[in-house]
Amino acid sequence: MNQERKTVIIIGGGFGGLSAAKKLRNKEVNVILIDKTNHHLFQPLLYQVATAGLSPAYIAFPLRSIFRKSKNVQVILGEVKRIDRKSKKVYLNGENYSYDFLIVAVGARHHYFGNNEWEKIAPGLKTLQDAINIREKILYAFEKAERTLDPKEQQKYLNFVIVGGGPTGVEMAGAIAEIAKKTLIEDFKKINPSKAKIFLIEALDRILPTYPLDLSIKAKKDLEEMGVNVLLNTRVLDIRNEMVITDKQTIEASTVIWAAGNKANPLIEQLETEVDRMGRAIVTPYLTLKDDENVFVIGDAAAAFDKNGNTLPGVSPVAITQGRYVAKSILKKLKNKPIKPYRYFDKGSLATIGKAKAVADFGWIKFSGFFAWLIWVFVHIFFLIGFKNRFIVLIEWIFAYFTHQKSARLIVDEKILKSS
């Protein structure tokens, strides 16, 4: 650490924090990057870990390795417990660090809309640990069905409910349908895995509501062809043990996955600043706090607005460009250069539904099917970190395409067996 230089603390090594740190490396500032895990997680492929398609290591990259050659970037594995804007300090368990500039990129967690007791039964998908837990839950449900003679009990293990029809919910529903109808179909002797029923519940009148209407309709048709029951205009009233109660019906299911809502990390409360109803810090057009131009909030933790006053969506391109923007802003401030407000250029959205099925919306053109899926594959391989990771993920996908096999069908947790 160079004592004469200003210090930038970045909390969070996701898309936003990582891109900020990359822009600041080998520049005339000290950077301290703090994350609760030791890796940057490529969240767009997390659902593939949760559905046994990929091993965790290939979508997670050690933050230390990324900055091994950047002398001005210090990586700390730790959890920030407190932010004190008055003294300009960030507190971990045991130690604290002083900042001149603070970039808060802490992301979001699931939002159960006041029903936090649902989390235990219906976990969400944000971290590698979440993904591994969901993977074991899904695979173990089939094992339990195989060991059960009672047909009603068996069906309960073979019912899967996904709450929320956004991109994550759609991807999960498609991937579970693939596992049930293709991957496992020959593996079980007593049960017929094709009896598995996948329910995708969405409160609005269409899935992928941020996409153009015709793509939503196409995605629903694709999912239904894969055997997914898409329940629109359906509200979840309660989630109890092995049971989902909606305003239309009650579904008995041992596996329920939550993909319905996000809420900013509670650390945002520490900033003592204005937040929106999802707990995101409301930021200026410069992505700073209103009363503190040295504190930036970016990515899913921030409520930033486009020129029409709409909140920017919680997607990785927003986080990445915001990270770069605030890093450049800090460098400009240090040189007393003028700073322009942040502007987001939407390059388009992609969502995959299943093998060789996807929807793409680039604004000037929108399409679906095999070609959209190929673009999805290309884009995701391209943005992964590390040549070897790209290579191995591509091999996995090529194998999966031709064999229907999934690579990481592991139940590792010994507790899962003990508890049953």
Active-site positions read 171
Among 120, 189, 277, 347, binds a copy of itself (CB under 8 A): 189
Rounded-to-integer distance, Cα 100 and Cα 7, Å: 5
Q: How many angstroms separate the Cα of 412 from the Cα of each of 141, 223, 386?
A: 14, 30, 26
Query: Near a copy of itself by CB under 8 A, which window of 163-171, 185-193, 222-230, 354-362?
Result: 185-193
Rounded-to-integer distance, Cα 317 and Cα 301, Å: 14
Site for a copy of itself in 294-333 (CB under 8 A): none
Tell which phi-psi region holds residue 272, choosing left (phi > 0), alpha (psi between -120 and 50) or beta. Answer: left
- Amino acid letter for position 188: F
Q: Does 413 bind a copy of itself (CB under 8 A)?
A: yes
Label the pairing between strands 108-110 and 101-104: unpaired
CB of 13 to a copy of itself, least distance (A): 12
Q: Does 410 bind a copy of itself (CB under 8 A)?
A: yes
Q: Does 134 bind a copy of itself (CB under 8 A)?
A: no
Q: Which is nearer to a copy of itself, 378 or 399 (by Cβ)?
A: 399
Q: How many angstroms separate the Cα of 397 from the Cα of each of 60, 68, 325?
A: 17, 30, 34
CB of 131 to a copy of itself, least distance (A): 9
Q: Does 213 bind a copy of itself (CB under 8 A)?
A: no
Q: Does 194 bind a copy of itself (CB under 8 A)?
A: no
Q: Which is nearer to a copy of itself, 98 or 233 (by Cβ)?
A: 98
Site for a copy of itself in 18-47 (CB under 8 A): 36-39
Q: Does 58 bind a copy of itself (CB under 8 A)?
A: yes
Closest by alpha carbon to 177, among 136, 147, 138, 137? 138
Q: Which is nearer to a copy of itself, 57 or 213 (by Cβ)?
A: 57
Rounded-to-integer distance, Cα 50 and Cα 256, Å: 13
Site for a copy of itself in 59-78 (CB under 8 A): 60, 62, 64-65, 68-69, 71, 74-78
φ, ψ for residue 27, nearest 5 deg: -100, 175
CB of 420 to a copy of itself, least distance (A): 7
Among 5, 115, 127, 252, binds a copy of itself (CB under 8 A): 127
Binding string, 362-401, against a copy of itself, x = CB under 8 A?
--------------------------x--xx--xx--x--
Among 79, 224, 269, 274, binds a copy of itself (CB under 8 A): 79
What is the size of the binding site for a copy of itself (CB under 8 A)? 57
Binding site for a copy of itself (CB under 8 A): 36-39, 55-58, 60, 62, 64-65, 68-69, 71, 74-79, 93-95, 127-129, 132, 139-140, 143, 146-147, 184, 186-190, 388, 391-392, 395-396, 399, 405, 407-414, 417-418, 420
